[in-house]
């Protein structure tokens, strides 16, 4: 005579249910066939990650706001974002600027961050190149006024320039450098010499 299987007692049933719940908590939800259900929680960013993203776009907005007006004007961006950056630049109070920068960061969430960073890099590199050119022109002007050997170096580095005109500019600058007018403000001859030099050092 066969014996009927003994059903599990209530304690065993409770333990099994607890284990199933434990597994579900650790391995995610499953459908009726045991297939894991993707509820999107794994891809959801944490609060700290969201904060870092917010700070990054605000920092990008702050760099854009720091550009010269002509450089900012040529960068493509949504008009609402441009208006918000312009408003930030006009705002004077600390609290007002803080709030406006938050608004700029909010608008930038929908902007093309990669394109904006690329445009910002191009504008910044252009500014750096312009600064180097200015310093080079100032250095050349000082050397040309100070010594004859600088004129030979310049002509060797820029053989296509008008040597006669340059000599005339240098003579006038040297004459004014020795006069009393040079003590009050920069003589006109020095400015003219600089304007002649500057375009020729932009590419060097």
Q: How many CA atoms lie within 13 A of 137 on its CB side?
A: 20
SS3 35: coil
Taking a C-beta distance cutoff of 8 angstroms, is the pair 44, 83 a contact? no
Residue-wise pLDDT for 137-161, tens only, equals 899 999 999 999 999 999 999 888 8
State the pTM of this model: 0.44
At 200 the pLDDT is 87
Query: In CATH, what class is 47-111?
Result: mainly alpha
The CA-atom distances, in angstroms, between 72 and each of 66, 122, 123, 124 are: 9, 11, 8, 11
SS3 30: strand
| pLDDT over 90 (residue 134) | no
Number of helices (H), then strands (E), in the chain = 10, 0
State the Rg of the chain over Cα: 35
Residue 3: DSSP 8-state: P
Structure tokens at 176: 């004014």
Task: Out of 71-75, 100-104, 130-134, pick the least confident.
Answer: 130-134
Question: What DSSP letter does each residue of 44-110 carry, written as one string?
Answer: SPPHHHHHHHHHHHHHHHHHHHTS-HHHHHTS---HHHHHHHHHHHH--SHHHHHHHHHHHHHHHTT
At 85 the pLDDT is 92
- Domain coordinates in residue numbering, the chain: 47-111, 129-201
| pLDDT over 80 (residue 69) | yes
| pLDDT over 50 (residue 31) | no
Residue-wise pLDDT for 40-60, tens only, equals 544 677 877 777 777 887 888
More confident position, 74 or 39? 74
Q: Give the homologous superfamily in CATH for domain 129-201.
A: PSPTO4464-like domains (1.10.60.30)
More confident position, 129 or 111? 111
Q: How many CA atoms lie within 13 A of 183 on its CB side?
A: 3
Domain 47-111 identical in fold to domain 129-201: yes
| pLDDT over 90 (residue 32) | no
In total, the chain counts a number of residues equal to 204
Residue-wise pLDDT for 167-185, tens only, equals 999 999 998 887 665 455 6
């Amino acid at each position: 005579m066969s014996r009927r299987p003994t059903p599990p007692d209530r304690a065993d049933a409770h333990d099994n249910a607890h284990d199933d719940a434990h597994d579900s908590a650790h391995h995610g939800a499953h459908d009726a066939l045991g297939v894991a259900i993707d509820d999107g929680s794994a891809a959801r960013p944490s609060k700290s990650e969201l904060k870092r993203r917010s700070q990054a776009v605000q920092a990008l907005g702050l760099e854009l706001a720091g550009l010269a007006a002509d450089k900012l004007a040529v960068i493509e961006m949504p008009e609402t974002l441009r208006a918000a950056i312009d408003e930030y630049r006009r705002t004077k109070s600390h609290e007002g600027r803080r709030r406006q920068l938050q608004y700029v960061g909010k608008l930038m969430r929908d902007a093309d961050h990669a394109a904006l960073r690329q445009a910002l890099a191009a504008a910044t590199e252009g500014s750096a190149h312009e600064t180097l050119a200015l310093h080079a022109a100032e250095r050349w002007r000082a050397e040309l006024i100070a010594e004859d050997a600088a004129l030979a170096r310049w002509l060797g580095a820029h053989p296509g320039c008008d040597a006669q005109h340059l000599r005339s500019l240098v003579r006038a600058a040297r004459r004014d450098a020795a006069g009393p007018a040079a003590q009050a403000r920069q003589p006109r001859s020095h400015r003219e010499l600089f304007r002649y030099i500057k375009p020729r050092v932009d590419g060097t």
